[in-house]
Amino acid sequence: MRPPQPQGPPRPESSEDASAQALAEALRSSFLIVRVIMILLVAVFLFSGFFTVGPQEKALILRLGRPVAEDESALLGPGPHWAFPYPIDEPVHIPLGEVQTVTSTVGWWKTTPAQEAAGTEPPPGPTLKPDQDGYLLTGDGGIVHARATLRYRIAEPGLRYKFDFSAASNAVQHALDNALVWAAASSTVQITRDSTPFREKAAARLDQLIRQQKLGIVVDQLAVEVKPPRQLAADFDRVLQAEVQRNAALADAQQYANTTTNQALAQAHALLSLAQAERKNLVELLSAEAKRFSELLPEYRKNPGLFMALRRAEALQRLATNLAECIVVQEAGPGQQRQIWLQLSREPQKIKLPEPPKTEHVH
């Protein structure tokens, strides 16, 4: 903008001209600025329609408040996308792949993870206070503590989870609490020993609730922890000890049983072996004798008396060589003295006879 030139006295026309010109020029340049700003604004407006969908999620575009489609075809996968800027389009991110976690502590005593880790939980009182101590009632009229951690994902397309619940994770939390209450109500205190049936019941009830209330989630994992009341820890331990003792006693008895049976089997085996041996001996002996008999029979038949006398004498002779000592006693006949002949051992008997053997006749 040029400043008006001080050339003599200013004429009215020329001064009007100059000011109009100046105004026009000012307007023109400001219009230029406005135009640039407008183009920039439009560019920013359009550019603001870009959005990115993360790897663990999907997105859905609401056009004028309504989803562009009600099924999975409307879901946009991970990557950059463009939609009309608000208020025409509104991208809604749904964390479909992301694992969400809810924890139920309605059945657990009041504690914090820090206290638990440090072991500084306040000691249990003699009773359970309804406003502080969570617990579950079991079917057999007992009390147990139980808590659960549920890991779940949103089921595709996730519209129900996102648009039908003001806070779906709260609804899931309530369902988990309810599942624990139900599962405990039909269980016994025994679930403190083995929580598997309890977990299964809770999982079944949770599935039922997910279907009934159409929570639109998929259960990834349900972990439960069940404990007896802290007030009764010692009593529950005693039962465990009793079981350990019983198992030890049973193991002892089993060992005794094995030993006894094995001994009996060994003894039986020995008996049988002995019997077999005896049987074999008897059979062999008799068959040997029979063979000998058959051989001797012709001889015998020639002259039985002589044969037998010879045999006997021969046998006696043979036997005599083996005899340690032989005592011959003669029956005292009438008016006779009794006589005894002794043949003493040819080998010295160490204790009795240190001297060489002698034969003597005793009368």
**Contacting residue, 2, 129, 302, 352, with other proteins by CB under 8 A:** 129
**280 contacts other proteins (rule: CB under 8 A):** yes
Say if residues 264 and 271 touch (Cβ distance below 8 Å). no
Q: Give Cβ neighbours of residue 123 (< 8 Å, ≥ 6 apart).
A: 230
Q: Give the three-state DSSP class for 2.
A: coil
**235 contacts other proteins (rule: CB under 8 A):** yes
Are β-strands 361-362 and 143-154 bridged in parallel, bridged antiparallel, or unpaired? Answer: unpaired
Give the residue with the Cβ less far from other proteins, 143 or 155.
Answer: 143
Give the residue with the Cβ less far from other proteins, 11 or 185.
Answer: 185
The C-alpha atoms of residue 337 and residue 285 are separated, in whole angstroms, by 44
**141 contacts other proteins (rule: CB under 8 A):** yes
**Which residues in the 68-127 window bind other proteins by CB under 8 A?**
87, 90, 106, 126-127
The nearest distance, CB 9 to other proteins, in angstroms, is 30
Say if residues 189 and 140 touch (Cβ distance below 8 Å). yes
- Identify the helix (H) or strand (E) that includes residue 20: helix 12-47
End-to-end CA distance of the chain: 182
Say if residues 96 and 53 touch (Cβ distance below 8 Å). no
Give the residue with the Cβ less far from other proteins, 8 or 305.
Answer: 305
**Contacting residue, 253, 303, 348, 353, with other proteins by CB under 8 A:** 253
The nearest distance, CB 170 to other proteins, in angstroms, is 5
**Which residues in the 297-316 window bind other proteins by CB under 8 A?**
297, 300-301, 304, 308-309, 311-313, 315-316
In a 13 Å sphere around the CA of 72, the CA atoms on its Cβ side amount to 5
**Contacting residue, 4, 54, 79, 139, with other proteins by CB under 8 A:** 139
**Contacting residue, 8, 302, 331, 334, with other proteins by CB under 8 A:** 331
